[in-house]
Amino acid sequence: DQQVKQNSPSLSVQEGRISILNCDYTNSMFDYFLWYKKYPAEGPTFLISISSIKDKNEDGRFTVFLNKSAKHLSLHIVPSQPGDSAVYFCAARNNFNKFYFGSGTKLNVKP
Partner 1 sequence: DSGVTQTPKHLITATGQRVTLRCSPRSGDLSVYWYQQSLDQGLQFLIQYYNGEERAKGNILERFSAQQFPDLHSELNLSSLELGDSALYFCASSNRQGSYGYTFGSGTRLTVV
**Run of H or E residues at 79:** none
Q: Does 22 bind partner 1 (CB under 8 A)?
A: no
Residues 27-86 that bind partner 1 (CB under 8 A): 32, 34, 36, 41-46, 49
Span interacting with partner 1, options 11-19, 62-70, 71-79, 87-95, rule CB under 8 A: 87-95
Smallest CA-to-CA distance from 109 within 61, 74, 49 is with 61
- Alpha-carbon span 25 to 35, nearest angstrom: 13
Residues found near partner 1 in the complex (CB under 8 A): 6, 9, 32, 34, 36, 41-46, 49, 89, 91, 93, 96-104
